[in-house]
Amino acid sequence: MKVIVVKDYEEVSAKAYEIMAELISNKPDCTLGLATGGTPVGLYKKLIEANKAGKLDFSKVQTVNLDEYVGIDYEHPESYHKFMNRNLFDHINIDKANTHVPDGGASDPQVACDEYNKLLASKTIDMQLLGIGGNGHIAFNEPGTPVDSVTHIVHLDERTIKDNARFFNNDMDLVPKSAMTMGIKNIMAAKKVLLLASGANKADAVFNTVEAKPTTKVPASVLQNHPDVTIICDEAAASKLTNK
């Protein structure tokens, strides 16, 4: 794992932009694995600015998203479909037919998971972007998720529901209790992984991911077994690392 520690959130976004923009420039038809949550938003803003300035072209880029809530309407502003459109896809020259988010609104979620696995099997993700949950989850793979998991339905941890309540008027009752997520095996199949972490509430998760022994109790720690992982964190998120 390569760990890059920068000053603050703005610098996390700038460094992540540098790395992702280099890939898109070198491989215009790349497949990006994309993430939601607050952390990637700064990076997405930079990708939008670069596209508007004519510096980055998304016309041949394909994307696959990590996860989606189950049990809220597709049109709900906090569905991850809407999140991706609002924070990235609506503002760049990507062909929406080339963007993919699991179908959390499917009448049969298990069939939708199977279809998403088929889609993933037909592609190679050149770079998978990840945030990290306060409990070390990646995508919605909560503690205990097996390493050989593929896209599946999950019941969200109490902590994840609490953490995500800020997107639902701070009302935990409004946060969906389950989701559809790529599994650890799907994530590990990406050629490169770029994980971003910002803020002191991620410090334990970052320490457990980077310096503790890999365990399924901290899903992100399993990334220690991936050959090409870069973690960009700000000083607050890196504050518990002993090796900086």
Tokens of 99: 């963007």
Using rule CB under 6 A, residue 131 touches ligand GLP: yes
Q: How many residues bind ligand GLP (CB under 6 A)?
A: 14
Q: How far is the CB of 89 from ligand GLP (least distance, A)?
A: 17
Residue 36 binds ligand GLP (CB under 6 A): yes
Catalytic option among 76, 81, 137, 152:
137
- Residue choice 44, 116, 140, 207 for contact with ligand GLP (CB under 6 A): 140
Report the residue number, 10 or 29, with the smaller CB distance to ligand GLP.
Answer: 10
35 forms part of the interface with ligand GLP (CB under 6 A): yes
Kindly indicate which of the ranges 9-17, 33-41, 107-115, 121-129 contains the residues binding ligand GLP, using the contact rule CB under 6 A.
Answer: 33-41
CA dist., res. 80 & res. 101, Å (int): 8
Query: Is 76 an active-site residue?
Result: no
Number of Cβ atoms within 10 Å of the Cβ of 53: 8
Q: Give Cβ neighbours of residue 5 (< 8 Å, ≥ 6 apart).
A: 233, 234, 235, 238, 241, 244
User: Which residues, 6 or more positions from 157, have their beta carbon under 8 angstroms from its beta carbon?
Assistant: 133, 135, 137, 142, 143
The active-site residue out of 51, 135, 141, 208 is 135
Stretch that binds ligand GLP, among 3-11, 36-44, 102-110, 112-120 (CB under 6 A): 36-44
List, in sequence order, every residue forming a beta bridge with 179; answer none if it has no partner.
69, 154
Q: Which of 95, 62, 94, 63 is nearest to 80 (CA)?
A: 63
